[in-house]
Structure 1
Amino acid sequence: MGGVQSFREFCDRTKNPNVRMSLPAVCFVWQTAMIILFGVFIRYNEESDTHWVEYRKEKNISDIENDFYFRYPSFQDVHVMIFVGFGFLMTFLKRYSFGAVGFNFLIAAFGLQWALLMQGWFHSLDYTDGKIKIGVESLINADFCVAGCLIAYGAVLGKVSPVQLMVLTLFGITLFAVEEYIILDLIHARDAGGSMVIHTFGGYYGLSISWMLYRPCLDQSSRLQGSVYHSDLFAMIGTLFLWMFWPSFNSAITDHGDGQHRAAINTYLALAATVLTTVAISSLFQKHGKLDMVHIQNSTLAGGVAVGTAAEFMLMPYGSLIVGFCCGIVSTLGYIYLTPFMEKYMKIQDTCGIHNLHAMPGVIGGIVGAITAAAASESVYGTEGLINTFDFEGAYKNMVPTKQGGHQAAGLCVAICFGVGGGILVGFILRLPIWGDVADDNCFDDEPYWELPEDEESIPPILQYNNHMQNKDIAESNFTVEQN
């Protein structure tokens, strides 16, 4: 009983804002720690180091074969998706646009530094000198890592403090690096576009945290949970950036040549099919056949999520269209029926509907990847193509496609387990009353965390008139008389 009482006293003390975790302190301490860790561990790889000149002469290759020229265009696209696409997609709330874009900016910049370290320790640690060697592909993978946390942010949008978001990101990237290593390296699953590693994990990680942080009195902020005309338009900017650059996202780290080419084509087609299906289902299930902007902003992207795992496989163009078609239906119906059900009966308050855009399409993507891998054959891929696509080399040189399909399914299970288990654990940590989160009646509002400009001054009404000069003169004279 004494321990419980002490904990309650601690919680009471932390209700004082002066005792809560300070955002400036967290930022300064974190950045200092990153400088130290980067100084100890991070170095340029051979393609970004000044010794590249010697390296290319030794290997008899030219500058154009430097990985920068293959990867940097894709990196630019992925970077835009992370900071512009995800940021603006979440600006749909009428009074939380600063938080949507600004905190997205904060946790992405915060997280990519930690991601370079965590992924480096698992994937690019040089055991000869104990250093992590980074290049342009490392930057892409760090952005991928951050994407999982930004997906999770969507579930708790408007309900948590910036310090809570940084804690969510710190643990999320750590969990991501571990599950990615297990899925890609130990299980040997292929997941070029991250349907399992990024979207399934990020989706269920965010949903589990949202479940742990359930607010029974959130209806006190219901006045701010909706959108207005211009906020939905800003969110559509995010949608279009994501939609346009998703082929780069799914193909960014695939093999040069046919794999990258095929991933871009498959994603392109899946996204196109999803748009038409989303529009059809939205119109069909809404009153008077009108479209719901929520569906257009989100469900139109589901095909890009679902085709991610199988993007570099021989899915075939018609197969990509089928994946996009199915995801448009599943995602749109999820927004119509599943999101309200989850909030009412499962106590999961999913602000952005990440279950419909990321979690479910991610699972579909994992299943599509498993089926496509298991059905692979030499007649379709060719002997060398089969080895190259699924990396049947070294310890896996005797692997057969049917077994690879089982490994793909195992990877999906790992992603779900890490997402749900990690989310529950981190959600428990975030429930501690030391993070400075807002009260129920202040959610979805920028005011607690941002200096806001004053509302526009009211502009005196201007009498309207047509272009005929005589009418203009009469209108102005009448307006003067009325004023006097």
Structure 2
Amino acid sequence: MSPSDPKRQSRERYSLQRLRKGRAERKNKERKSERLRESIRKGRKFFIATVVTELLIVCLFAAFAVHKSSIQAHRERVVPEVSESSSSARNTSDDDYYITTLLPETSESPVVSTSPPKVIKHREEPHEYAMFMDVHVMIFIGFGFLMTFLRRYGYSSVGLNMLVSALSIQWAALATGFFHMENGKIPIAIDSILSADLATAAVLISLGAVLGKTSPLQLLVMAVGEIAVFATNEWLGLHIFKAVDAGGSIFVHVFGAYFGLAVSFVLCRGGTEKHHSSNEGASYRSDLFAMIGTIFLWIFWPSFNAALVTGDQQHRAIINTYFSLAACCVTAFAVSAAVTKGFKFDMVHIQNATLAGGVAVGTAADMMVQPYGALLIGMAAGTLSVFGYHFLQPFLLSKINLHDTCGVHNLHGMPGVMAGLVGAIMAGIASETDYSYSLYLQFPARAPPANSSEYTEIFQALNSVQPGDNRSAQAQAGYQLLALGCTMVIAIVAGLVMGFILRLPALSQVPPELLYDDKFTWEVPEVGDEEGCSASTGERPAASIYRPDGKRADQVLEIDS
């Protein structure tokens, strides 16, 4: 048999192919085994860290947190004894949580009684609860769905938003409560969990800057650290500087945005491969889901800005935010068309810049900006945000490698700084002419000191005014700017430190090939194409149906478009 025998050559080629195929199969099995082992290690770390953190929070609640007493949490109005000049039934204010009624009620003249009156207590919902629920919807639905624009990261956008929020509201209730302890205990009431929701919003804003680039374990570490710094900065601004920030534009939006940007800056050090991936993109349907989040946030934003104030201040905050959002929405559409090729709308602008008016008016929401002023603020915010997305964000990415997945700098950062500046201007021009004696409720630090004749006069007219520091309008404006500057510095420094912590190998780094991909942390059903659905036909070309033997049985599922 000659060496050139065709049959021998064919057998040799076949053997060589089998050998190569066997080697490739062994390598694939080894890679799969290594991925499985890494997934198990990652899952164990996450499980242990999550359970330990939750147990520590339970212990802290057991040691420090208590319900407010009935007198603190729910005001109870007891009707005094009836006299001949009094009525048998007293009207109660709308703010009372209990309505009390004197029994029995007759048409005859009341008789003086020496025994305590009988009181029936009708429980009403606390007035904070409606505002709290609006903010709660914003946290879990608004922020969650706003981040679903990434076509392969929908599970993580909504799911990790829920996970981080659930942890953050617990830790925030404690962290902020440590600065307001009474007799060594943290009193918990509805206003406590409302404040916890607002603190959680700062964490979710930071999450937007690092979305798709962090593992669940990294996000939990970031949330715990950020809440601690947030509570400290908020206490510094509100109780030391005595700045006014009704809508949280300084202490929530500015802090969350620049903390997240600093974290992202550190995580992406080393070149574009740290953040660049073909997965980072939107699809028709993912953008549509993100608009659900936008509309929820847009509708409920007045409650976010008005939740922590009452009376006339709450009235102004709702109206000013309402008009600012409306003007911002219209302007964002107009400017988006103006800067986009072909004069078409850009969905990135519409999803985000339409909300910037709520951020930009936040600090001054409860001040006398007047409706036309709120409209002007909204127009400026919409323009600023669109310009940020279209021009500034690509510039920062190319020059300093600052990668911002959701563009939080354009929606929360710059509009938040704008809100701080507007708040300082309004504080600098505020006077009794505009506010009357309620000026000292609006800016408590401007009230005269105790035991002064000025304070006595004001207290006689408005007994809810507390003694203050007798600040001038210009001094209050200066403290507003100081709070804004300190918040930015603290957020950036703390964010840089947190970024280096999150780079530790023990915290389950996301490999470059799985950036912005749910497969890193979720069981994802296989689909026939990257987006799962065709945007034009609404069909799912090849949905993977797994049989008991593990093999696929591809079917075509018709989905209503």
1:398 aligned onto 2:470: yes
Aligned pairs for 1:59-458 within 5 A: 65-66=96-97, 69-123=126-180, 125-127=181-183, 130-214=184-268, 216-218=271-273, 222-254=277-309, 256-382=310-436, 384-391=437-444, 392-393=446-447, 394=466, 396-455=468-527, 456=543
Please identify the structure whose Cα radius of gyration is greater: 2
Which is richer in helix? Answer: 1
Counterpart position of 1:31: 54
**How many angstroms apart in 2 are the aligned matches of 1:424 and 1:226?**
27
Q: Aligned pairs, how many?
A: 441
Query: Which consecutive residues of structure 2, in runs of 5 or more, have no partner in the other structure?
Result: 1-36, 81-89, 98-123, 448-465, 528-542, 545-553
SS of the equivalent of 2:415 reads: helix
**How many angstroms apart in 1 are the aligned matches of 2:493 and 2:39?**
31
| Amino acid paired to 1:407 | Y
**How many angstroms apart in 1 are the aligned matches of 2:506 and 2:418?**
38
Task: Give the alignment's TM-score, normalised by structure 2.
Answer: 0.75
Counterpart position of 1:469: none
Cα distance change, pair 421–219 in 1 and its aligned pair in 2 (3 A): closer
| Amino acid paired to 1:65 | D
Instruction: Compute the displacement of 1:68 (Å).
Output: 5.2
Note if contact 2:258-2:413 (Cα within 8 Å) is conserved in structure 1: yes
Note if contact 2:213-2:275 (Cα within 8 Å) is conserved in structure 1: no
Counterpart position of 2:86: none
**How many angstroms apart in 1 are the aligned matches of 2:370 and 2:94?**
34
Write out per-residue CA displacement over residues 84-133 of structure 1, whole angstroms, 9 at most, x where no aligned residue.
Answer: 0000000000000010000000010001111011110112x102xx1110
Identity of aligned residues (%): 44
**How many angstroms apart in 1 are the aligned matches of 2:556 and 2:410?**
45
Cα distance change, pair 246–48 in 1 and its aligned pair in 2 (3 A): farther
Query: Which consecutive residues of structure 1, in runs of 5 or more, have no partner in the other structure?
Result: 1-14, 463-484
SS of the equivalent of 2:518 reads: coil
Instruction: Compute the displacement of 1:401 (Å).
Output: 1.7
Cα distance change, pair 140–47 in 1 and its aligned pair in 2 (3 A): farther
Write out per-residue CA displacement over residues 382-405 of structure 1, whole angstroms, 9 at most, x where no aligned residue.
Answer: 1x1211111244552512222111
Cα distance change, pair 52–252 in 1 and its aligned pair in 2 (3 A): closer
**How many angstroms apart in 1 are the aligned matches of 2:335 and 2:74?**
54
SS of the equivalent of 1:223 reads: coil
| Amino acid paired to 2:155 | F
SS of the equivalent of 1:43 reads: strand
Cα distance change, pair 58–350 in 1 and its aligned pair in 2 (3 A): farther
Cα distance change, pair 281–219 in 1 and its aligned pair in 2 (3 A): farther
Cα distance change, pair 107–58 in 1 and its aligned pair in 2 (3 A): farther
My pick for the range that moved more, 429-438 or 302-311, is 429-438
My pick for the range that moved more, 450-459 or 177-186, is 450-459
Note if contact 1:56-1:63 (Cα within 8 Å) is conserved in structure 2: no
Instruction: Compute the displacement of 1:57 (Å).
Output: 3.5
Structure 1 residue ranges, 4+ long, deviating more than 4 angstroms after superposition: 15-21, 58-64, 457-462
Counterpart position of 1:467: none
Note if contact 2:146-2:351 (Cα within 8 Å) is conserved in structure 1: yes
The structure with higher relative contact order (CA 8 Å, sep 6+) is 1
Cα distance change, pair 433–423 in 1 and its aligned pair in 2 (3 A): same
Note if contact 2:268-2:274 (Cα within 8 Å) is conserved in structure 1: no
SS of the equivalent of 2:78 reads: helix
Write out per-residue CA displacement over residues 68-88 of structure 1, whole angstroms, 9 at most, x where no aligned residue.
Answer: 522110000000000000000
**How many angstroms apart in 2 are the aligned matches of 1:376 and 1:165?**
42
Task: Give the alignment's TM-score, normalised by structure 1.
Answer: 0.87
Instruction: Give RMSD over aligned pairs.
Output: 2.2
**How many angstroms apart in 2 are the aligned matches of 1:91 and 1:248?**
24
| Amino acid paired to 1:100 | S
Note if contact 2:267-2:274 (Cα within 8 Å) is conserved in structure 1: no
1:57 aligned onto 2:78: yes
Counterpart position of 1:478: none
Counterpart position of 1:466: none
Which is richer in strand? Answer: 2
